[in-house]
Chain A
């Protein structure tokens, strides 16, 4: 009888440690990535944000109807030149794959900037700074930094507003399209102009 009990204890210990070692506590859901490979060996990936349904927050001073309702945006004058937004982020198949923040900054000393932080839980984060002046209806910015999968990448991200004029999408007014053109730092070969 005592031998059976001791065997049970050993079995329980081994089973518990095996479960703790082999069973994943966190199971991160992944959507298939939709990436196009470009001629220079880099890749292009397009994300979008459907508005208004993917907007989580709009933070700015003087809003009559803050989003989300009940939010108290700071009234301190130092934040008067900041507009902060949070969104859910979708891939090209229209599936939610991450979250993103967009800060429109108007600093008297450092000028105007738009800064994005895209967070894809299964892959990493992308920090992008862009000029607020659009070129060909798009704003283009450089990848300032990336984490995890994006840590070894460099490239550009463009932001474009596409209005929904079809009227077939219900409440949608349009979407923000974010196109990422990234290249591994190992593959990057500076051209003659850059080298100078």
Chain B
């Protein structure tokens, strides 16, 4: 009996060590420099609030572990094939905080998630419409491991279920070779655009009850790659 208790204690210690290695694994450090930062090509930057209350709508399965849907009476995505999906509709702002467009983001937790490799993956698709400019689709694979490790887990450990600080990270993790998202032009001046983008999050406060309390997302879109419509090259920079 004594040996069984000691074995169980050893097992628990082993699992705890494994989780500590996973949590402090230095090989899963996030990319801090945007692959687009070294590009001298034309880019647009679109900002949005990642706080649920600031969105036009946000909906998901309504689980307590997810962001709370907004507004409260929005139809929830409780059916099994879409229960791992979030839908966000938000205003997009330029760098002067002027509303320039509307974005719809569909994001679904990915089956390629491997926590052992520091990959908490989400497959997402942005539809972006900028009046007077045009529309585009952004396809990306997002890695939320760094946000989970640096913000969500510390918030859960905190006695008040809150986190405060200054966290910034690139969440885009592909499918581009340099870890960039793919951009496909739709209508208007972006017709024929075939380019790259990255999405960055900046968090200042997080609560386990309501999700992000002060957090901003930023999409940086490169406009210079394989634009087959000449007018697209004249797109002004926001």
Contacts and interface: CB of A to CB of B under 8 A. Distances in A.
16 contacts: A7-B7, A8-B11, A20-B18, A24-B113, A26-B109, A56-B75, A56-B87, A57-B56, A59-B56, A70-B72, A86-B104, A107-B187, A117-B127, A121-B84, A129-B186, A147-B139
Interface string A20-42: 11001111111100000000000
A119 to B, nearest CB: 4
B225 interface: no
B79 A103 contact: no
A192 interface: no
A69 B75 CA distance: 10
Query: Does more than half of chain A's interface fall in helix, strand or loop, or is it mixed?
Result: mixed
Interface string B34-63: 000000000000000000000011010000
A122 interface: yes
A124 B100 CA distance: 27
Interface of A: 1, 4-17, 20-21, 24-31, 55-57, 59, 68-74, 76, 78-79, 81-82, 84, 86, 88, 95-99, 101, 103, 105, 107, 109-110, 113, 115, 117, 119-122, 124-125, 127, 129, 144-145, 147-148, 151
A25 B115 contact: yes
Contacts of A98: 81-82
Interface of B: 2-3, 6-19, 22, 56-57, 59, 71-75, 77, 79-85, 87, 89, 91, 99-100, 102, 104, 106, 108-111, 113-116, 120, 123, 125, 127, 129, 131-132, 134-135, 137, 139, 182, 184-188
Is the contact region of chain B dominated by helix, strand, or loop, or is it mixed? mixed
A144 B9 CA distance: 58
A70 B69 CA distance: 12
A28 to B, nearest CB: 5
B81 A121 contact: yes
A175 B17 CA distance: 55
B12 A12 contact: yes
A72 B110 CA distance: 31
B13 A121 contact: no
Contacts of A151: 139
Contact of B71 (A71, A96, A105): A71
B113 A25 contact: yes
A8 B17 CA distance: 12
